[in-house]
Copies of this chain bind each other. A is one copy, B any other.
Amino acid sequence: MTYYAELSPPPRTIMTPGPVEADPRVLRALSYPILGQFDPAFTELMNDTMGMLRALFRTSNQWAYPVDGTSRSGIEAVLTSLVSPGDRVLIPIYGRFGYLLQEIAERCGADVAVLEKAWGTVFDPEEVIAAIRASRPKLLAMVHGETSTGRLQPLADIGSACREYGVLFVVDAVATIGGVPVETDAWHIDAVIGGTQKCLSVPSGMAPVTYNERAERVLLARKKIERGLQGSVDSPLTGMHDGPAIRSNYLDLSQLQDYWSPARLNHHTEMTSMLYGLREGLRIALAEGLEARFGRHRLNEKALSAGLSAMGVTLYGDPACKLPVVTCVDIPDGIDGESVRSMLLRRFGIEIAGSFGPLKGKIWRIGTMGYSCSQKNVLHLLGAFEAVLTRHGMKLHTGAALQAALDVYENTEV
């Protein structure tokens, strides 16, 4: 039989746009013994998680719970539950993850219209609002923080317009939740998807979502109860509805919300260990305080950007819409970006990312997210990056990066 070695992951400093280092307290939570999914001690942890997710999403929505899958499972759950075949969906796209929304909406059978913006910029909200007026979609879906390009899309005005014109507003906040303000209620967002493995620093595996009564009405009109459960006499939930059936069972929010409700109608087997981890990650984020947490992300971004600029590399993209938690750097002509990434990993144990599609081979992406977003990591990265680029033949202002970053930290400290 083949021999498989004992698990022993090498130590890493993870400065990608996700997954990032998990908080050690979250890792410890993952290792606690299992509880049964209907054990009262466990359902209490589920309820705690819902309460903390409401605070994280800044919403008074009843429904705020994780979908059991990675971030895109949450996106697909929201879209497949809200979008019926033939529905008109508008998707403004300014990077890779906008295309993912398009792809998922198309697989739902939607009649999808897109707006496209050059990668590296975002939309002027008025452009999106004009398109809403012109096409009157049922639903508009867009990305809040686009990690493929490192840009942040302002959403408040678009949300107001969606509400005014009766459009459901769905936001992919996978990259921003917990690191950048996401104002679900204030921005009139009807459904939001967050990520765990980025600014929350919980390992990939769950997709927190929240949605309001406007969204709930749409999915309840499509609700079906599982055949194997229909005989349950104590179910307060009845029968069939008229809307077109939701095409997924696993990602059907009308069933998931029954599972997360006091009825606890059996659906999947909740991911016990991941739920422990998510709950702990939320506890840590709320104990730090969301405003303080956003401030920490801004500070480390400032130090990182100052260091990179002082070193003599060029930041990619329009600075007016920079995503605070991802900093993109142009790969200089004549430099093999993958060779730099590989040497950083192999020699320094530091991981940074490349990008996708048209930006593949053109930029590096450096994340400052969650537990990875620390003074220690930023300084470690700057020193190593300078050395590796020098080793690749670049002429840099050696030594300047760390001094510039230290200036930021010293001048900002209270």
For window 259-316 of A, CB contacts with B under 8 Å fall at 266-274, 276-277, 279-280, 282-283, 286
Q: Are B197 and A269 in contact (CB under 8 A)?
A: yes
From A92-100, A152-160, A318-326, A396-404, the one touching the partner chain is A92-100
- Asked if A172 lies at the interface with its beta carbon under 8 angstroms from chain B, I say no
- Do A28 and B27 touch (CB < 8 A)? no
Q: How far is the CB of A374 from chain B (nearest CB, A)?
A: 15
Contact between B279 and A229 (Cβ–Cβ < 8 Å)? no
Q: Is the CB of A204 within 8 A of B271?
A: yes
Determine if A411 is an interface residue (Cβ-Cβ < 8 Å): no
Residues of B within 8 A of A356 (CB): 228-229, 231-232, 266
Q: Report how far A104 CA is from B105 CA in the complex, Å.
A: 20
Given contacts A266-B356, A268-B70, contact A107 B246 (CB under 8 A): yes
Residues of chain A from 36 to 53 with CB closer than 8 A to chain B in the complex: 36-37, 39, 41-42, 45, 48, 51-52
Q: How far is the CA of A38 from the CA of B95 in the complex (A)?
A: 21
- A8-24 near B? 1/0 per residue, CB < 8 Å: 01111010101111100
Q: Which residues of B are found within 8 Å of A238, using beta-carbon distances?
A: none
On whether the beta carbons of A228 and B73 are closer than 8 Å, the reply is no
A245 / chain B contacts, CB cutoff of 8 Å: 106-107
Q: Residue A138 at the B interface, CB < 8 A?
A: no
User: Given that A34-B19, A100-B228, A273-B203 are known contacts, is A268 also in contact with B9, CB under 8 Å in the complex?
Assistant: no
A106–B227 alpha-carbon span in the complex (Å): 11
Total copies of the chain = 2
Minimum Cβ distance to chain B for residue A77 (Å): 9
Interface string of A92-124 (1 = CB under 8 A from B): 000111111011101111000000000000000
Partner of A357, one of B70, B108, B232, B250: B232
A190 in the interface (beta carbon within 8 A): no
Q: Chain B: which residue is nearest A80 at the CB level? A: B248
> A360: CB under 8 A from chain B?
yes
Tell me whether A240 is interfacial, beta carbon within 8 Å: no
Chain B min CB distance to A60 (Å):
14
Of A107, A205, A272, most buried by chain B (CB within 10 Å of CB) is: A205
- In the complex, which residue of chain B has the Cβ closest to the Cβ of A32? B9
Are B20 and A7 within 8 A (Cβ)? no
Contacts of A80 in B (CB 8 A): 248
Q: Is the CB of A104 within 8 A of B12?
A: no
Q: Which residues of B contact A339 (CB under 8 A)?
A: none
Q: Who on chain B is nearest to A16 by CB?
A: B36
Shortest beta-carbon distance from A46 to chain B in Å? 12
**A386: Cβ under 8 A from any B Cβ:** no
A230: interface (CB < 8 Å): yes
**Contacting pair B100 A249 (CB below 8 A):** yes
- The interface of chain A, by Cβ under 8 A from chain B, is 1-2, 4, 7, 9-12, 14, 16, 18-22, 27-37, 39, 41-42, 45, 48, 51-52, 55, 68-73, 76, 80, 95-100, 102-104, 106-109, 148, 197, 203-205, 224, 226-234, 245-251, 266-274, 276-277, 279-280, 282-283, 286, 345, 351, 356-358, 360-361
Query: Nearest 10 CB-CB pairs, A to B?
Result: A96-B228, A99-B228, A31-B31, A231-B357, A203-B273, A205-B271, A99-B227, A30-B30, A70-B268, A204-B269
16 residue pairs A–B, Cβ–Cβ below 8 Å? A4-B52, A7-B32, A7-B279, A9-B35, A9-B276, A12-B34, A12-B39, A19-B37, A21-B34, A22-B34, A34-B203, A104-B250, A205-B271, A205-B273, A229-B356, A231-B357
Supplied contacts A4-B282, A10-B35, A22-B34, 13 more A-B pairs, CB within 8 Å: A7-B280, A9-B32, A19-B272, A68-B73, A100-B227, A103-B227, A148-B228, A205-B273, A205-B274, A228-B356, A231-B357, A231-B360, A233-B360
